[in-house]
Amino acid sequence: MKKVVAVFSLITICYACGSSTAEEKKPISINVNPQINAGHKIAETGATAATAEAGGTQTPAAAPAKDGKALIAGSDCLACHQETNKLVGPSYAEVAKKYKEADIPKLVKKIIDGGSGVWGEIPMPPHASLAHDDAEAMVKYILTIK
């Protein structure tokens, strides 16, 4: 029975990750606030960021780091992980308890390349189309969960 559940879980994970070879994979990059790029047009108003800083109607703050929580919500991560409860993979709170800031590069690589054996028998599929900066923002968010 355990083998049937493991095989079914693996098939479900592969399906959720969109492991189809028919489509061309492109890096995923989500700009959570496109208005804050200095010198670029602000999408809604057509004004430049420099104009906004010089007294326009919008005053942009310093460019924020990418929002890891929003990136996770827009990805397939929640098919296997939850913030505080173990699902297929470990909860984000378990990951945050085990790893520190020094482990960020290692965790980014693990997300992009996939892997197995650290949290059990079920492997984490690779997310090769995920941009490095996005994966880093996700890891930084995950490490804040307690």
> Which position has the higher pLDDT, 58 or 120?
120
Q: Are 33 and 70 in contact (CB under 8 A)?
A: no
Domain ranges of the chain: 1-22+66-146, 31-64
pLDDT at 4: 59
Report domain 1-22+66-146's class: mainly alpha
Long-range contacts of 37-45 (CB under 8 A, 24+ apart): 37/63, 38/63
Q: What percent of the chain has pLDDT over 90?
A: 50
Provide mean pLDDT across the span 117-126: 91
For residue 26 the two structure tokens come to: 């492109």
When pLDDT is cut at 50, 70 and 90, the band that residue 133 belongs to is very high
* Cβ density class 85-106: b for 16+ within 10 Å, e for less: eeebbbbbbbbbeebeeeebee
For residue 46 the two structure tokens come to: 């057509």
* pLDDT tens per residue, range 65-98: 579 999 999 999 999 999 999 999 999 999 999 9
How far is CA 70 from its chain centroid?
8
